[in-house]
């Protein structure tokens, strides 16, 4: 490809719409253009990157037995009704774009494909003899994200590879899950990414075990907590740990302490010398479900701990999901909402776990009993400080039995960096940030049972299929690569996913010898299978070098003054190392190196003259 024909439109300044470096660079270097919030055009340069990533994904997924297919993006609501996910994906904070056709039938635009694939499996799979089977596709997904941002990182339309496997038993599912774990590690490493596997929450997809693959980067939206011994790593949404011990409350009789204006943990502690770990704080939230009344929640946490929303949502679904359907959202209760329910004001800032259900009597849309949940760190305190539920006062030195309560100890707290690990208390969790590029799940039989995907086993009995699913954010991965590989001058693509592997720059387009040698090398390298770009524009050399750096082509071959003597300059984009080479040697030295790098192998360029 010639740069003059490439429609290369670069921007000199950082675009105002971008916050993180990878987003800025992709816009500046002409890889993407924004069409709407979370909606991007993949310009020809990026499309080449996406094709290369897809090719690597295909190779590795095929190698573990995947069969490529393409499923519809327009999905009948009925399938989602049957799996029980329609309400959760369309109401409240649901992320599925949905519409009615001319006959008023409802459809969703596919955010994921469990329903569709399971329906097809129900139709095609009959016998254990057909198993295991694994289907996958690389396709655009639609999600009406609450906060689309960072360009391709969180788009509302993005490219995903999603695979689904079907098995006769759980053991076989585990094997395929392991195979995908290996395939994913190879995919990310071949794409030149430093990625780590972490334990993950299964979220709205469901199932038992799940693992995410994170590209480590400061701009990542996920917090990873890991032990230095390498034995534990988890997304904070999921992470467990041992909380630090509470500071014991000094002995003394139970008392009610006037605490005017001390409605925060910090205010209370600094006024009376308490440690936050001596306090039980109470959070009032309300959970909305697809069916039934909204559920007020009274959550007790130790004063130094934070609530983990994901763990809470999982507990709520387990406790109430059967009866009230999908959990739609959970939000804090504020004084205005209390008023709207027609209730008397609540003592915010002075709440204690013993707040009586009577305060909910007569509520308009709320259930009139609290669901009371306590984190283990709070439930395990013997004596503590808590709000007195009125009169700007706290109770000091109370126990749970004084309050007439017997809380069950749940894990609702967010693990924090610095916490001790459960597997080894000498290990302390360390935090880093990550971009989730892949997620693998053991789904079990959730979808096959709901959608009637059954097979006849070896014993001749009918049972539901075991399922796994495996996603990779292909477009997010492309941007994550930029987040890990760039410098002040622009992008630095790993060879395996670079839009072009090498760019030939003619230093002076007026010099016939330079033009002739560049054209000859361009032809030779193309013939040798190198993905080569020729900068044939009549710009100054400096401008061409800047553009080559900005778009991040990993190797640059400069045909300049040495052309008359048959030498060229080879510059590596990463690090900028330069060397003069006889043009005649390129076929023997550079070509094998590029082909190896394309496979994700790191080879060194032989020192000058050594390779031939
Ligand atoms: P996230 O937690 O980032 O919202 P998710 O857990 O909902 O992602 P999955 O359902 O596991 O995502 O989807 C599989 C993969 O698709 C993710 O690992 C991620 O790489 C990619 N992905 C998900 N949502 C987006 C998005 N809005 N834009 C780009 N890629 C995405
Ligand atoms: Mg995920």
Summarize pLDDT for 178-218 with one digit per residue, the tens: 999 999 999 999 999 999 999 998 876 766 789 999 999 99
pLDDT > 90 fraction of the chain, expressed in percent and rounded: 92
Distance CA 368, CA 354 (A): 15
Going by their DSSP bridges, the two strands 393-398 and 384-387 should be labelled as antiparallel
pLDDT at 604: 58
Q: Which of 13, 18, 19 is closest to 32 using CA atoms?
A: 18
Helices (H), 84-169: 86-90, 114-124
Structure letter (DSSP) for residue 10: -
Between helix 21-28 and helix 474-484 the angle, nearest 10°, is: 100
Nearest atom in ligand 1 to 437's CA: 20
Is pLDDT above 60 for 325? yes
Pairwise CA distance, residues 298 & 286, whole Å: 9
Q: Quote the ligand 1 centre to 438 CA distance (angstroms).
A: 8
For residue 473, the CA-to-ligand 1 centroid distance in Å is: 6
Residue 10 CB: number of other CB atoms within 10 A?
14
Tell me how far apart the alpha carbons of residues 43 and 183 are, in angstroms, rounded to a whole number: 28
State how far the alpha carbon of 345 is from the alpha carbons of 266, 327, 360, 389, 390, in Å.
23, 27, 10, 11, 10
Ligand 1, from 471, 472, 475: best to mutate by most atoms within 8 Å of Cβ?
A: 471
Please give the C-alpha separations between residue 445 and each of 86, 87, 134, 407, 466, in angstroms, as whole numbers: 18, 20, 15, 33, 5
- Quick one: pLDDT band at residue 391, thresholds 50, 70, 90? confident
Q: How many CB atoms lie within 10 A of CB 503?
A: 27
**Whose C-alpha lies nearest to ligand 1, atom 22?**
473
Pick from 205, 439, 480 the residue to mutate for probing ligand 1's pocket: most ligand atoms within 8 Å of its CB: 439
Cα 482 to middle of ligand 1, angstroms:
18
- Ligand 1 test: best mutation among 196, 473, 481, most atoms within 8 Å of CB? 473
Q: Which residue has the tokens 């008392």?
A: 255
The alpha carbon of 436 and the centre of ligand 2 are apart by a number of angstroms equal to 7
Mean pLDDT, residues 10-16 taken together: 91
Closest-CA residue, ligand 1 atom 1, reads: 436
The number of the ligand nearest the C-alpha atom of 221 reads 1
The ligand 1 atom nearest the CA atom of 213: 18
Looking from the CA of residue 162, the nearest atom of ligand 1 is 14
> pLDDT category, 606, cuts 50, 70, 90?
low
Atom of ligand 1 nearest to the CA of 221: 3
The dihedral through the CA atoms of 75, 79, 84, 87 has a sign that is: positive
- Cross-strand partners of 609: none
Half-sphere exposure of 73 (CA within 13 A, CB side): 15
User: Are 374 and 386 spatial neighbours (Cβ–Cβ below 8 Å)?
Assistant: no
Place of tokens 């040698």: 517
- Domain ranges for the chain, please list them: 3-73+110-240+431-483, 255-410, 500-598
Retrieve residue 385's tokens: 């400080």
What is the bridge-based pairing of β-strands 454-456 and 233-235? unpaired
Q: What is the Cα Rg of the chain in Å?
A: 30
Contact 246, 210 (CB under 8 A): no
Task: Name the residue with the closest Cα to ligand 1, atom 4.
Answer: 154
Question: What is the pLDDT confidence band of residue 609, given thresholds at 50, 70 and 90?
Answer: very low
pLDDT of the residue at 601 = 66
- pLDDT band of residue 612 (cuts 50, 70, 90) is very low
Assess contact for 557 and 585: CB atoms under 8 A: no
CA 566 to chain centre: 50
State the Cα–Cα distance between residues 277 and 70, nearest whole angstrom. Answer: 54
Which SS3 state, helix, strand or coil, does residue 279 take? strand
**Lowest-confidence segment of 29-43, 201-215, 397-411 by average pLDDT:** 201-215
Buried b (16+ CB within 10 A) or exposed e, 132-167: bbbbbbbbebbbbeeebebbbbbbbbbbbbbbbbbb
Residue 603 pLDDT class (50, 70, 90 cuts):
low
Identify which ligand lies nearest to the alpha carbon of 434: 1
20, 136, 310, 476, best to mutate for ligand 1 pocket (most atoms within 8 Å of CB): 476
Other C-beta atoms closer than 10 Å to the C-beta of 531 total 18
Q: How far is the CA of 37 from the centre of ligand 1 (A)?
A: 17
Ligand 1, atom nearest to 477 Cα:
20
Give the pLDDT confidence score for residue 610 in this predicted structure: 41
- The residue contributing the CA closest to ligand 1 atom 16 is 473
Ligand 1 atom 26, closest CA: 154
Which stretches within 213-361 are classed as H helix?
265-272, 309-324, 335-340
Residue 221 CA to residue 235 CA, distance in Å, equals 11
CB-CB contact of 51 with 84 (8 Å): no
Q: What average pLDDT does this structure show over 560-569?
A: 95
Question: Taking Cα atoms as reference points, which of 272, 229, 264, 177 lies closest to residue 421?
Answer: 229
Closest Cα to atom 29 of ligand 1:
154
| CB neighbour list of residue 231: distance below 8 Å, 6 or more residues apart | 423, 424, 427
Going by alpha carbons, the residue nearest to atom 14 of ligand 1 is 471
Which whole-number Å values give the CA distances from 575 to 474, 486, 555, in the listed order?
27, 11, 11
Average pLDDT of the chain is 95
**Ligand in closest contact with the CA of 162:** 1
DSSP state of 25: H
Superfamily for domain range 500-598:
Anticodon-binding domain (3.40.50.800)
Opening angle at CA 419, ends 415 and 420, nearest 5 = 120
Atom number in ligand 1 closest to CA 205: 10
Pocket test for ligand 1, best of 436, 468, 472 (most atoms within 8 A of CB): 436
* Closest-CA residue to 192 (of 400, 427, 486): 486
Count of alpha carbons within 13 angstroms of residue 70, beta-carbon side: 4
pLDDT tens digits for 356-370?
Answer: 999 999 999 999 999
Cα 441 from Cα 207, distance rounded (Å): 7
Nearest ligand (C-alpha, residue 470) = 1
Look at ligand 1, atom 13, and give the residue with the nearest C-alpha: 471
Are 155 and 479 contacting, i.e. CB atoms less than 8 angstroms apart?
no
**Which CATH architecture best describes the domain 255-410?**
Alpha-Beta Complex (3.90)
Q: Which CATH superfamily is domain 3-73+110-240+431-483 in?
A: Bira Bifunctional Protein; Domain 2 (3.30.930.10)
Instruction: Summarize pLDDT for 328-341 with one digit per residue, the tens.
Output: 999 999 999 999 99
- Ligand 1, pocket residues at CB < 6 Å: 112, 143, 145, 154-155, 158, 160, 203, 205, 436-439, 471, 473, 475-476
Q: Are 301 and 307 in contact (CB under 8 A)?
A: yes
Closest ligand to Cα 193:
1
User: What separation in Å is there between the alpha carbon of 97 and the centre of ligand 2?
Assistant: 19
Backbone angles phi, psi at 337, to 5 degrees: -65, -40
Indicate which atom in ligand 1 lies nearest the CA of residue 471: 14
Closest protein CA for atom 18 of ligand 1: 438
For ligand 1, atom 31, the nearest C-alpha belongs to 473
């Amino acid at each position: 490809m010639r740069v003059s024909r490439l429609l290369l439109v670069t921007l000199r300044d950082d675009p105002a719409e971008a916050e993180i470096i990878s987003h800025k660079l992709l816009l500046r270097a002409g890889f993407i253009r924004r069409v709407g919030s979370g909606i991007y055009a993949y310009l020809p340069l990026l499309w080449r990157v996406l094709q290369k990533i897809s090719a690597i994904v295909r190779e590795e997924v095929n190698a573990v037995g995947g069969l490529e297919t393409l499923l519809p993006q327009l999905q009948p609501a009925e399938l989602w009704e049957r799996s029980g996910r329609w309400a959760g994906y369309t109401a409240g904070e649901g992320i599925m774009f949905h519409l009615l056709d001319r006959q008023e039938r409802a459809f969703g635009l596919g955010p994921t494909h469990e329903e569709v694939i399971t329906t097809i499996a129900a139709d095609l799979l009959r016998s254990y003899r057909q198993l295991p089977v694994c289907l996958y596709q690389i396709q655009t997904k639609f999600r009406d994200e609450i906060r689309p941002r960072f360009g391709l990182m969180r788009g509302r339309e993005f490219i995903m590879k999603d695979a689904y496997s079907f098995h006769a038993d759980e053991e076989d599912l585990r094997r395929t899950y392991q195979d995908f774990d290996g395939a994913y590690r190879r995919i990310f490493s071949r794409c030149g990414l430093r990625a780590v596997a972490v334990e993950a929450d299964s979220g709205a997809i469901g199932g038992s075990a799940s693992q995410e693959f994170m590209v480590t980067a400061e701009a990542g939206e996920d917090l990873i907590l890991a032990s230095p011994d390498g034995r534990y790593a988890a997304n904070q949404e999921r992470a467990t740990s041992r909380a630090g011990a509470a500071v014991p409350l000094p002995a003394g009789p139970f008392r009610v302490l006037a605490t005017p204006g001390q409605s925060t943990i910090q205010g209370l502690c600094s006024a009376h010398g308490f440690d936050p770990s001596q306090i039980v704080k109470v959070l009032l939230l309300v959970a909305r479900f697809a069916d039934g009344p909204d559920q007020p929640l009274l959550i007790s946490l130790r004063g130094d701990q934070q609530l983990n929303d994901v763990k809470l949502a999982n507990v709520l679904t387990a406790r109430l999901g059967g009866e009230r359907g999908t959990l739609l959202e959970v939000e804090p209760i504020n004084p205005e909402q209390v008023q709207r329910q027609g209730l008397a004001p609540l003592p915010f800032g002075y709440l204690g776990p013993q707040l009586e259900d009577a305060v909910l009597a007569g509520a308009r849309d709320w259930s009139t009993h609290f669901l009371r949940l306590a984190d283990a760190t709070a439930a395990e305190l013997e004596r503590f400080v808590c709000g007195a539920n009125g009169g700007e006062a706290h109770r000091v030195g109370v126990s749970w039995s004084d309050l007439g309560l017997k809380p069950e100890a749940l894990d609702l707290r967010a693990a924090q960096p610095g916490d001790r690990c459960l597997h080894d208390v000498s290990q302390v969790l360390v935090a880093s940030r990550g971009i989730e590029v892949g997620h693998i799940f053991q789904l079990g039989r959730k979808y096959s049972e709901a959608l009637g995907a059954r097979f006849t086993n070896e014993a001749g009995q009918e049972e539901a299929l075991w399922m796994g699913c495996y996603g990779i954010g292909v477009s997010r991965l492309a941007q994550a690569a930029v987040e890990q590989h760039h410098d002040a001058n622009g992008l630095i693509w790993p060879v395996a996913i670079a839009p072009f592997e090498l760019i030939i720059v003619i230093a002076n387009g007026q010099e016939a010898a330079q033009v002739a040698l560049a054209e000859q090398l361009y032809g030779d390298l193309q013939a040798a299978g190198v993905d080569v770009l020729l900068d044939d524009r009549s710009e100054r050399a400096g401008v061409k070098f800047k553009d080559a750096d900005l778009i991040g082509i990993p190797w640059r071959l400069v045909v300049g003054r040495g052309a008359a003597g048959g030498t060229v300059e080879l510059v590596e984009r990463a690090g900028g190392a330069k060397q003069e080479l006889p043009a005649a040697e390129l076929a023997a030295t550079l070509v094998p190196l590029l082909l190896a790098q394309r496979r994700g192998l790191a080879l060194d360029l032989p020192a000058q003259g050594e390779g031939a």
